[in-house]
Amino acid sequence: MAPHKSGSSEGRQTIVLIVGLIAAVAVIAILTSLFIIKPWQSDDYKECVATLEQLNGGEDVPDPIIDTECSRYE
């Protein structure tokens, strides 16, 4: 009798699934850190960012400026 190959196929599917889930979580984490004010940041940090935007005429403030001015509130 020829050996079954279903075991190795299932193993590969499991590995692919795990790698895919890890990649998805990594992508979500990167996008969150790049584009969104993190929900777990303090209200003081959010207020600092809002103040900077207000001082900038309501326009977005570059990230390096936010990092410099508001990092003490993280």
List, for residues 12-39, the tens digit of each pLDDT value. Answer: 899 999 999 999 988 888 777 766 656 6
**Cα 60 from Cα 53, distance rounded (Å):** 6
DSSP the chain: -PPP-HHHHHHHHHHHHHHHHHHHHHHHHHHHHHHS--TTS-HHHHHHHHHHHHHTTTSPPPHHHHHHHHGGG-
Residue 32 lies in a domain: no
Containing structural domain, residue 61: 39-74
Number of domain units in the chain: 1
Provide the pLDDT for residue 40: 64
Instruction: For the chain, give the mean pLDDT.
Output: 81
Does this model's pTM top 0.85?
no
Residue 61 lies in a domain: yes
The answer to whether 48 touches 69, Cβ cutoff 8 Å, is yes
Residue 14 lies in a domain: no
Provide the pLDDT for residue 59: 87
How would residue 55 be classed by pLDDT, with cut points 50, 70 and 90?
very high
In percent, the amount of the chain with pLDDT more than 70 equals 77
Residue 15 lies in a domain: no
